[in-house]
Copies of this chain bind each other. A is one copy, B any other.
């Protein structure tokens, strides 16, 4: 079907282009995949020839319907493996991404079907990201981040926007996990920081960057 590299490009293009199906620039894609712009151009052209992406020279790329379908399969596999690693193998949520990056390229449909069954058909991965079903359908990603709340609002952490190991370890240190309740006490325009209470604990300060990477369901 597809090589692991092709799958990685499709996934990255799909994710970067977002809900609005915006066109993704070669440089953005190359940076995401930690490769050169020349390599990205090369692969984009290969994917374009296979009809997996829409490509306009110098303008950017987009997944085509078939490319999106392929990307969603990779994302499904990735997220199911992450659930397995955390729930069954007892990994911490910051350790699973790199391993799932490898596991996601094993394409046996039976394997994924049985894994999904074994995990009791999970709907979200350990970072709160929705898992596409076998047809590629999944729950919408949340849109509200902690920094969008008004002073005095109470919210529940439902997913992380950044799932880098560093960020997740930092959240661990702050005792912020999925399901945690966060009350926004105050906003300081001067340095863009937030004063919050986590699980009804003492007031602490969060940077704007951190607050912008925590998806919240308003309560």
Contacts and interface: CB of A to CB of B under 8 A. Distances in A.
Interface of A: 85, 88-91, 95, 98-99, 102-103, 106, 108, 110-111, 114-115, 117-118
A114 B108 CA distance: 23
Given A91-B110, A103-B106, 8 more contacts: A85-B114, A89-B117, A90-B118, A98-B108, A99-B106, A99-B110, A102-B108, A103-B103
Contacts of A114: 85, 89-91
* List of 3 A-B pairs having minimum Cβ-Cβ separation, nearest first: A89-B114, A102-B106, A99-B108
A99 B90 CA distance: 23
18 contacts: A85-B111, A85-B114, A88-B88, A88-B118, A89-B111, A89-B114, A89-B115, A89-B117, A90-B114, A91-B110, A91-B114, A98-B108, A99-B108, A99-B110, A99-B111, A102-B106, A103-B103, A103-B106
A102 to B, nearest CB: 5
A108 B97 CA distance: 12
A118 B106 contact: no
Contacts of A85: 111, 114
B118 A95 contact: no
Contacts of A99: 106, 108, 110-111
Contacts of A89: 111, 114-115, 117-118
A198 B77 CA distance: 42
Contacts of A106: 99, 102-103
